Structure formats: C-alpha cells, structure tokens
Amino acid sequence: MKKMFRPFLALICLIGSAAASAAPTCTASYVTRNDWATGFVADVVVTNSGASTVSAWNVTWDYGQSVALTSAPWGANVGISGGVVTSTDNGSHPSIAPGATVSFGMSLSYSGTKPTPGVITVSGVNCVVAPVNPNLYVDPQSTAAIWVRNNPGDGRTYDINARIATQAGARWFGNWNADIGAAVGAYVGAAAAAGRTPVLVAYNIPQRDCGQASAGGAGSIAAYQDWIRAFATAIATREAVVVLEPDALPQLDCLDAAGKDARLQLFRYAVLQFNTLAPRVSLYLDIGNSAWLAPSEAATRLYNAGVANARGFSLNVSNYRLDSESNPYGIAVSNALQQQRGWGKAFVVDTSRNGNGPNGTLWCDPAGRKIGVAPHVNAAGSQPEMTLWVKSPGEADGCAAAAGTFVPDLAYKLIYGY
C-alpha cells in the first residue's frame, strides 16, 4: 500500500487457545481520537480471520495508570480496575464468525500523561503489535459536525459527536459543486494542513443512477472528462483516497450498448487522469454490494473499467450488507480477477450503516439500522485494507428528509440500532 498515512498502533491478534507461535486468526486495532486535556476516545476493532467461530470473547489491556469511563461505552461491556480494561460482549455480538468483525469504544479520563495500552490480549492470548496507517481526515465541516456545534444543548449531541461527528468520513463531489477544482482543492488542502488523508467520492457520471433517486451527472462525455480532469488536477501530489462513481458499474445494465461503452471509456479516462495528475491517490472503482453482481461478473466489469491501473475497488457504498457478507465477497471478486487476469486487487468496504445488516430490500432510510465498524486502516496485506464511512450516518436517503440532509433522529437511532 502507498505510504499515505502516518503510523498508529494496530494489533494482529490470536484468538482461542492456540500457541503464540501459531498463525494469527484475528486482526484488531486500537486507535484514539477526540483528545482533550484529560481524556480521549478509544476505538477497538476485532476481526476473526480464522476458520472457526469465536464465542465468549474478551479483550483486555493494562494502561499502567488509573483511567475512568466518562460515559457509557458502546459495542461492548467495559469493566475497569485501576488501569486494567476488560471488554466483553454486551449481547450484540455473543460470537464472532469467520470473517466477521466486532467494534467497540469508550470515552476515558486520566490524570498526568496520556496512557497507552500495554500487552493486549484477546481471550487470554497475547496480541502481536504491528504498525499500520490510520490518519484519515475528520471533516470539521461535515453535516454532523455542523449540527453538533449548532445544538450544544440537545440531549443527543454528546452521542452524535462522540460516535459520528468525530469519525473520519467521506465528502461527496458532483454537479452541485460550481467549481470542482476549487472545491476539491480546498478540501484536500485542509486535510493536508491537518496532516491527514481525506476520503473523497467522485459522483458525476453521465446518466447517474439510471435516472432514479440520485439522477443527474455531467451532461456529456466531454463535460465529464473536463470535470474529472479538474478533480484530479486539484489533488495534485497530495495524498487522498478516492472512491470513483458509486453504483455506476453495476448499473451498466440500464444503458444501451453505446452507453455502456461510453461509460467504461470514462472510467478508463478517469483512472488515467488520477495516475497522471494525482499520483499519490489511492483510487477505488466502485462495484456495488455483495447482493448485486456475481464475483466473476464484477471482476469482468472492473477489468473493463481499468481497475488494473487503480488501487482496487469499493463495496457496499451507502448500503447495509454485513461485513460477514461484504468481506468474503470482496475476496471472491479479487480471486476472480486473479483467475481471469493473473492478478487480484485490494478493496475497501463502507461500514457506515451496516451494523445490523439490511432490512429486507428497503434502502431509503429504513428503520432499525446501525452504524458499523469505525473507519480504520487494516494491517498491511489484509482484506479489506480499509473500512470507510463513505455514506455519512444521519444524512437522509430522501425519505426522512431531502437526500443529504442531516437528520439528528436518524443519526441517534443509527448509533443505538433502532
């Protein structure tokens, strides 16, 4: 992976009773954010990469100095004795199936210097420490962050700030940006000034969304070429993650033969622009979700769109498929590329609203959904290599309010899954 993020602490963990010298059967990460003078928020992610289900899990570490919870933890029960933190299932994830992920977090206070964890164990087995890269940009002008600043007295503000507004998300760019170069340049520049890597979504393909809820896009092939070239030019040599045209490849089927060819040509043109004008971008071509295309067909469309010259592909954008579906599907698509072309590709997954999985086929602000694993970068060589919040939790799909409008009630319910 390109050296595009600053190092943070991640952990490759062993689960179960296997000896410490055995191959890892789990990956986990520990990262802090939202620091203040005497406290911080800690996020922990554990993924079962073994072949067997793990039940009655626990995660433990010792800070070596006293800490205290400042509010209720999320995603797990947390007990603290001095500096020893022990996290266990709170009923939401009694077991971790192969390929599945659990995430939890807590807001902690301390005195003196900021504590760091000692040896971290999962079900009593020591974790192996490995450096990977996290520093994704947290947008202070996200719709959630703006709402938090404007509503300090609202009873939902603390949770929305801790769980959503202070997480790294993506900013979407499309035909609503009057000057795409200026808009992208300002956003990437702000991230660079903060020493962080931004996540951007390019969403302006002609005949976008097959004329459905998100209809629009550039008015012609030439207009899109100008637009995506300006997009890439504005990033220049700065670091960024770009998700290219969500759903546009799965939706090829709504186009006639000429339209399909034109869209694939535009994808290949976009890949060329980023490679030439923005060489430090990690570019992911979107290929929908695990319930859409067969892996072999997804691989074929990605190849035809130029994925050979991109970092990889993205999955589950704005959707709800569980990690236990998305992660194996992504591996299957990469394997299909390997079988068809002799090489595989990395992938990223949008986990912004997949904590409870889908509600049947409902897609427009369905009830009972939940935020998923927090955005983070996995250990080098892992698949997926990143989990991202491409969709902003709390922004309406168009049913609870106009699409893109931040609805605090939606955000609050996503936090707690109701």
DSSP class of residue 254?
Answer: G
**Best CA proximity match to 250, nearest among 293, 214, 207:** 293
**Best CA proximity match to 208, nearest among 242, 233, 174:** 174
- Check if 397 is active-site: yes
Give the count of beta carbons closer than 10 Å to the beta carbon of residue 51: 8
Residue 117 preceded by cis peptide, ω within 30: no
- Check if 209 is active-site: yes
DSSP structure string for 65-122? S--EESS--BSSEEEEETTEEEEE--SS-SEE-TT-EEEEEEEEE-SSSPP---S-EE
Tokens 């179960």: give the residue.
16
- Residue 237: both structure tokens together: 């040599």
Given the residues 89, 159, 286, 397, the one annotated as active site: 397
- Check if 247 is active-site: yes
110 and 67 in contact (C-beta within 8 Å)? yes
| Burial degree of 301 (CB within 10 A; 0-12, 13-18, 19+) | buried
DSSP class of residue 165?
Answer: I
Give the count of beta carbons closer than 10 Å to the beta carbon of residue 382: 18
Given the residues 247, 286, 323, 350, the one annotated as active site: 247
* CA distance linking residue 234 with residue 221, whole number of Å: 20
**Best CA proximity match to 17, nearest among 122, 111, 90, 95:** 122
C-alpha distance from residue 146 to each of 16, 152, 228, 282, 383 (Å):
44, 11, 28, 28, 33
**Best CA proximity match to 177, nearest among 150, 138, 216, 221:** 216
Catalytic site residues?
209, 247, 397
